[in-house]
Structure 1
Amino acid sequence: MTGDHYFSTEPAAIAHRRDVTFTVAGREYRLASATGVFSAARLDPGTAVLLRKAELPGPETSGDLLDLGAGYGPIACVLATQATTARVWAVDVNARARDLATENAQRLGVADRVRVAAPDEVPAGLSFAQLWSNPPIRIGKEELHALLARWLPRLTPDGVAWLVVARHLGGDSLQRWLTDAGWRVDRHASQKGYRVLRVSR
């Protein structure tokens, strides 16, 4: 056992690699993963619900899109293949995850439009047309709120955020917190114990 979490900046565990295969919108994805990153062995069920139930961008979508807590990049890769003219930022604190996300963007031929970055590497003045996240609930409520308070204000005036949260991990209380913070929050879908939230100004 190690003290690693998927939100460790430099995982100490040996990187045992594997491929993760999943299908979104009729397209099969085969992405590289490794121990020491979030849901290394399979597409996380919450992420699967998010990609199945939220409104995926299309070829007409432009601007900058953000995958917050990108891990090895499943959301970022889907966004980049769906929104063929948008730029996608895959942001994660975990260096191993960032390396894998970079590799996966190259595998799919979208590396020219996917920017993989640590949080502090994202240009300060950049705004996002869309924010997508399966947020790291297990960092704790206070840290989670601080994370969202940092990134949600960077949405463009008509921007939208898509979040997925397990109900038993506080999905409903997070919805109340966001509403109290002045955001418009719609429970877009529920499936398999997960809430898909659409957040806008």
Structure 2
Amino acid sequence: MADDAGRTHYFVEEPDAPSQPREISAEVRGKRLSFVTDRGVFSYGHVDAGSRLLAEQMQLPEDGDLLDWGCAWGLIGVVAATLRPELRVTMVDINRRACELAERNARRNGVEAEVVCGDARTALAGRDFDIIVSNPPISVGRAVVLGVMDHAAAALRAGGSFWMVAATKKGAKTLARELEARFADVEQVAVSGGFRVYRAMQPVAREDDADDR
């Protein structure tokens, strides 16, 4: 789907593009993985640089619960489940085709993961996590990205961390300030290829926290 400026985005329940699956392989953190991608889902036919950087940089606990927010075809969630078999991985996306691919790719790589299809803020209401990772859909607009941050701040367990990647040219530094308004501890952990990875911890108490859960 394209927005009013003609930019393509994939934050829709049912993509318009006809299905045309394409298989790819990728080595991430020393693991050779295989994926099926498709039109109408973010990062068709390749591993995008931002998601790769996030997958390479995220620091995973040995166990606990991880949420991949806006999973697309499942790169980050599958990498996490491959590296930490004891980690309970949940992947969520509003795009139904993306969810189908994420489930397929988890099976394809021999890992267990729960895939939830829908708006994370409602589909996962009341659930909390030890680590949340996201390459948020910045092309959809600022409000959606801020919603990702708000949900992460509300859904993190004590001691948990939120990891986010953003393109420098698409306002990463501004988004970092928004993170600082929601978390007491924000660190830029990597800059590469026009992308920045941030780790945020210690959510700041906000009046609307109860509404975000």
Provide TM-score, normalisation by structure 2.
Answer: 0.86
Give secondary structure in 2 for the equivalent of 1:91. strand
Summarize deviations over 1:51-99 as a string: whole Å, max 9, x none: 22332x26xx211100000000000100111111111110000000000
| Aligned residues with identical type, % of pairs | 34
> How does 1:1-201 map onto structure 2 within 5 Å?
3=2, 5-55=9-59, 57=60, 61-110=62-111, 113-118=112-117, 119=120, 120-122=122-124, 124-201=125-202
1:8 is displaced (CA, Å) by: 1.3
Q: Is the CA contact (8 Å cut-off) linking 1:5 and 1:11 kept in structure 2? A: no
**Which letter maps to 2:176?**
Q
8 Å CA contact 1:64–1:128 kept in 2: the answer is yes
Which whole-Å deviations, capped at 9, do the CAs of 1:14-42 have from their partners, x for residues lacking one? 11000121111111111011000001110
Task: Tell me the distance in 2 between the aligned counterparts of 1:17 and 1:31.
Answer: 10
Check the 8 A contact 1:54/1:188 in 2, yes or no: no
Distance in 2 separating the partners of 1:25 and 1:147? 26
Residue by residue over 1:140-184, the C-alpha shift from the partner in whole angstroms, topping out at 9 and shown as x without a partner, is 112211232123320111001111111110110000111123442
Paired residues of 1:87 and 1:114 also in contact (CA < 8 A): yes
Check conservation: 1:10, 1:95, Cα contact below 8 A. yes
Counterpart of 2:208 in structure 1 is none
Q: Alignment partner of 1:8: what SS?
A: coil
Kept after mapping to 1: 8 A contact 2:130/2:156: yes
CA offsets per residue over residues 88-124 of structure 1, 9 Å max, x none?
Answer: 11000000000000001111121xx3110022332x3
Unaligned runs of 5+ in 2: 3-7, 203-213
SS at 1:138 equivalent: helix
Alpha-carbon distance between aligned partners in 1 of 2:153 and 2:92, rounded to the nearest angstrom: 14
Query: Matches of 1:86 and 1:10 in 2, distance apart?
Result: 30
User: What TM-score, normalized to structure 1?
Assistant: 0.91
Greater mean alpha carbon deviation, residues 4-13 or residues 82-91: 4-13
Residue 22 of structure 2 aligns to a residue whose secondary structure is strand
- Provide the C-alpha distance between the structure 2 equivalents of 1:78 and 1:34, rounded to a whole number of angstroms: 19
Instruction: Give 3-state SS (helix, strand or coil) of 2:10's partner.
Output: coil
